Amino acid sequence: MSVPLKIAIAGLGTVGGGVIKALSSRKKALEAQAGRGLEVVAVSARDPRKKRDFEVQGLLTDPLALAKSDADVVVELIGGEEGVARQLVEASLENGKHVVTANKALLAKHGKRLAELAEKNNLQLKFEAAVAGGIPIVTTLREALIAHGVDAVKGILNGTCNYILTEMEVTGRGFAEVLKDAQRLGYAEADPALDIGGGDTAHKLALLSALAFGTAPDLANMKVEGIEHITADDIGFASEFGFRIKLLGVARQTAQGIDQRVHPAMVRARTPLANVDGAANGVMVDAGEAGSFFFSGRGAGEAPTASAVVADIVEIARGSFGPVFGRPAASLRPLVPADSGASQSAYYMRFEVLDVPGVLAEIAGHLSKANVSIESMIQRGRAPGEPVAIVMITHESPQHAVENALKAIAASDKVRARPCMIPMEAA
């Protein structure tokens, strides 16, 4: 065997611990696949006294020391779009070390610049674990589905949101109650904002979009909406109409530009994405003449994420080199955004209204004025004096027309809460 690959690992939490365990428990098999030895020569974490369920020797508390070590590859598993993670990745690339990272926040914000730095120094910057955990979607978009181009990529990219929505559907409980349970069970962070607000999905979508369309990762041109406002009623109504509600990240090439958005969507019940349940992830790629491809599996957690990190390390050990985003970083174009307001979709709308004569006519009037026509409707009575739920599904309409109608409806004194509007995702 040739010279071993020397590996330094920064961060020994969920993912870092999983990487250490996999590299040690499957050492022989992985070395056989890499064609050379794989040696962990340095590790770092913040707290040297923390109890860990794996053996650690010579733990450093300054991750930046790894960039100056004799490692060939630095594995950044600390996290965060700035701070020490960014400093470490930059310093490692400047010091001639390949980098493997699972850090979607860092790459969504600084991906193009870091890719340029890596390529200038003839180094690898690999990030399979940054999107959808164990699902090899980064490699698939970068290396496999390239012959016919990609028209669209969409997916369930955040296990926390999918767990919450699935639990709400199965138990009929409300968002806040299920979120609390998810935190207790370790499916949601103590501060869940980045997950439930759609930010984490946005980071991942920015990377998928860059790989699919050859653009620089772009968070600025992305509409992002989370799941906080979804009610158990919405999920119940969705089911009556034959749909399930999922938080989707969608990136689509249109004639006008790229449409990137993160939002809850109504997904038809018997389609593959609708059946991604619990904390799992799922990604659908529409690869032109090659057809549609669907991937699903565990999108987070120790073993699935470590699986992706270790695969990147082995690729580097083999010496297989390619540009970070599948084409030279300098050629990544700025993203030209599509006008999302003009995009056409059918919509689910829910209104909480006073049960008084004329309310339905008023809603219908605003919709008709905006040229939005209704395909079906459900009206549910409640106890006397309580607001009534009116739910409508529209025919395909431009987003801005539906938004205008909803704005006018929300201003009515007969409407009790902000109307809810969820796009119906085709297939």
Which residues are catalytically annotated?
204
> Which residue has 């990147």 as its token pair?
312
Contacts with ligand NAP: how many residues (CB under 6 A)? 23
Give me the least distance between CB of 192 and ligand NAP, in Å please. 14
Least gap, CB of 221 to ligand NAP (angstroms): 22
x/- track of binding to ligand NAP for residues 291-320 (CB under 6 A)? ---------xx---x---------------
Q: How far is the CB of 331 from ligand NAP (least distance, A)?
A: 27
Q: Which residue number, 54 or 294, has a Cβ lying nearer to ligand NAP?
A: 54
Closer Cβ to ligand NAP, 25 or 292, answer by number: 25
φ/ψ of 358, rounded to 5, equals: 95, -10
Q: Quick check: helix, strand or coil at residue 128?
A: helix
| Minimum separation from the CB atom of position 76 to ligand NAP (A) | 8
Does residue 415 bind ligand NAP (CB under 6 A)? no
Cα–Cα separations (whole angstroms), residue 65 to 9, 41, 62, 74, 153: 11, 12, 6, 11, 39
Q: Are 119 and 323 in contact (CB under 8 A)?
A: yes
CB nearer to ligand NAP: pick between 19 and 245: 19
Report in angstroms how near the CB of residue 225 gets to ligand NAP at its nearest.
21
* Amino acid occupying residue 201: T
161 binding ligand NAP? (CB under 6 A): no
For the segment 4-43, give every residue that binds ligand NAP (CB under 6 A): 11-16
CB nearer to ligand NAP: give 102 or 206.
102
Residues in 114-133 at the binding interface with ligand NAP, rule: CB under 6 A: 129, 133
CB of 320 to ligand NAP, least distance (A): 22
Tokens of 40: 């962990």
| Contact predicate 198/262, CB 8 Å | yes
H helices present in 336-392, as ranges: 359-369
Which string of x and - marks every residue 241-280 that binds ligand NAP (by CB under 6 A)?
A: ----------------------------------------
According to DSSP, the β-strands at 2-10 and 73-76 are parallel
What is the per-residue burial (b if ≥16 Cβ within 10 Å, else e) of 363-389? bbebbeebebeeeeeeeeeeeeeeebb
User: What is Dmax (Cα atoms) for the chain?
Assistant: 83
* H/E element, 347: strand 344-353
Q: Does 192 bind ligand NAP (CB under 6 A)?
A: no
What is the footprint of ligand NAP within residues 77-116 (CB under 6 A)? 77-79, 84, 102-103
What is the C-alpha separation between 76 and 86, in angstroms, rounded? 9
402 binds ligand NAP (CB under 6 A): no
Phi/psi for 38 (5° steps) reads -125, 105
Verify binding: residue 74, ligand NAP, rule CB under 6 A: no
Other beta carbons within 10 Å of 148:
12
Interface positions with ligand NAP (CB under 6 A): 11-16, 44-47, 50, 63, 77-79, 84, 102-103, 129, 133, 300-301, 305
